[in-house]
Structure 1
Amino acid sequence: MSTSEIATVLAWHDALSTADLDTLVSLSSDDIEIGDAAGAAQGHAALREWAQRVTGPVEVGDIYYRDGVVVVEERFASGTTASAFRVVHDHITSAFRHDDLAAALAATDMADEDLQA
């Protein structure tokens, strides 16, 4: 387990939940790619625009980790999703939202043995 990568993702979620865009950006690489099934965008400006559309806090559920990739179950007031993050040198380089945890795990080839306690 890499506590560094997981800690970065948890701090990113804290910043997202509190709409602290400056911290969110500081935890992200300059060329961060952020996306979902509808498409992707790149860079800090795209991250800020995406984050401003998030309403309310996000609660982190189960966390999976392998080789610099962290998958997090996310609970919003509007429902549950999951995101896959690539973390390099304590900066998130990509964040991709999936419809559910099963889809995020399938996309990253993770399984139950990658679940962090």
Structure 2
Amino acid sequence: MSTSEIATVLAWHDALNSGDVDTLLSLSSDDIEVGGPKGAAQGLGPLREWASSAGVTLKPGKMYVHDGVVVVEQEASWASDPGTTHNVASAFRVVHDQVTSTFRHDTLEAALAATDLTDKDLV
């Protein structure tokens, strides 16, 4: 387990949730891969566009970590429906204190299955 990987992912959440897109980009690699239910994209431009327009808040919960992969259970809410929250999970890959990929999954189980992480990786 790496404290650095966890700190990077938590800082990434903080930047996204506070609308600090510049910090979010600085925590992400130039060729970051971003994916979710509506598709995937690569690069800082698409990340900036998504972060500026998605209106999402992702409150981190349980975290699983192994070899640079971090899965985070999240309570998600969108500005378009502020009274509703959804439990989702995202899988991150962190290399040299930068997020190189993040993919949102509908459930924690799906994110763990996609990354081969298990309860033994819970921090």
TM-score bracket, shorter-length normalisation? over 0.9
Match of 1:13 in 2: 13
- TM-superposed CA distance for 1:9, in Å, is 0.3
- TM-superposed CA distance for 1:36, in Å, is 1.4
CA distance 1:97–1:6, shift in 2 (3 Å): same
Q: Percent identity?
A: 64
Aligned partners of 2:57 and 2:43: how far apart in 1?
23
Match of 2:120 in 1: 113
CA distance 1:55–1:37, shift in 2 (3 Å): closer
Secondary structure in structure 2 of the residue aligned to 1:41: strand
- State the superposition RMSD in angstroms: 1.1
- TM-superposed CA distance for 1:56, in Å, is 5.0
Match of 2:76 in 1: 76
Aligned partners of 2:58 and 2:47: how far apart in 1?
16
CA distance 1:110–1:97, shift in 2 (3 Å): same
In the alignment, structure 1 segments of 5+ residues that lack a partner are none
Matched, 1:24 2:24: yes
Structure with more of its chain in strand, by fraction: 2
In the alignment, structure 2 segments of 5+ residues that lack a partner are 78-84
TM-score normalised over the length of structure 1:
0.94
Aligned partners of 1:56 and 1:45: how far apart in 2?
18
Number of aligned residue pairs: give it: 116
